[in-house]
Amino acid sequence: MKVSLIITTYNWKEALRVSLRSALCQKRLPDEILIGDDGSRPDTKEMIEIIAADSAVPIRHVWHEDDGFRLSMIRNKAIAAARCEYLIFIDGDILLHPLFVDDHLSMAEKGRFFIGRRVLAGQALSQKILQGKNGFPSLLTMNLHHRKNTLRIPFITNFCKQQPLPSGKGCGSNMAFWKKDAINVNGFDEDFTGWGREDNDFTLRLTNAGICGSFLKFIALTTHLYHKKNSREHLGKNDELFAKTAQSGKIRCEKGVDQYLPELQSVTAV
């Protein structure tokens, strides 16, 4: 099975560097890495090119111009560009445990998608990680929130995954699904602009299509680096859109990934 690791980013090359380096230190390397870039400045591309030059894994940079928070759109473009059958999504401010990809693939099943957990690094610890002074945190590391999510206990996971995901739960910073399932629901709904609920809408439509979701507990570990909260300016509108999906039971969104499938087949490696 081939797997694409898709990392979304916007103008924080220092955090993206941490994510990329942890991706390239995986026990089971992804077959390709795509950077879904929501309009970062040229210095992000320059950093990616430096890392890609020495990478054993193909790294591709999928970019569009900065026109506000368009996460759904850049995710769809990355899905369209992905060459592998299984997709793992993380954000560009995520540090991966060395067994992250291996853990996700060990759980992969047809007709399923998975949401992983994360530990939250405080501001002081995040600065150390950005400076390369800390590896993946342990249960005893200082300046952590949700520290139980540092525990990797694989034998418990099989019991936990039998519990269905509550309807409409989503977390794009640690999520895995089959590309064909994403295309079937037409990817992320681009009517969601600004921060909030686009993940929930996507997973709800997967569930409506008969794809069963589960939380991954105690494997596929990630650490989220501290940053200020994104603007919630559009959250009210996005809540209304999500409520319509919940009420209608729809599967496909109108404005989704299908508009990019022909155009991005020729995206070249960095």
**What residues contact 132, with CB distance under 8 A and at least 6 apart?**
none
Q: Contact, 121 vs 144, CB < 8 A?
A: yes
Cα angle for residues 241, 172, 129 (degrees, 5° grid): 140
> What is the token pair recorded at 43?
């210095």
pTM above 0.95, yes or no: no
**What residues contact 66, with CB distance under 8 A and at least 6 apart?**
38, 39, 40
Query: pLDDT tens string for the chain (270 positions)?
Result: 999 999 999 999 999 999 999 999 999 999 999 999 999 999 999 999 999 999 999 999 999 999 999 999 999 999 999 999 999 999 999 999 999 999 999 999 999 999 998 999 999 999 999 999 889 999 999 999 999 999 999 988 876 666 667 666 677 789 999 999 999 999 999 999 888 789 999 999 999 999 999 999 899 999 999 988 776 777 788 889 999 999 999 999 999 999 999 755 444 444
pLDDT value at residue 162: 64
Cα angle for residues 257, 179, 247 (degrees, 5° grid): 60
pLDDT value at residue 227: 86
Q: Residue 61, Cα to own-chain centre: how many angstroms? A: 15
pLDDT value at residue 269: 45
pLDDT value at residue 156: 84
Q: Measured between alpha carbons, how far is residue 159 from residues 162, 214, 215, 218 in Å?
A: 6, 11, 11, 11
Domains of the chain from N-terminus onward: 3-260 (3.90.550.10)
pLDDT value at residue 229: 77
pLDDT value at residue 190: 96
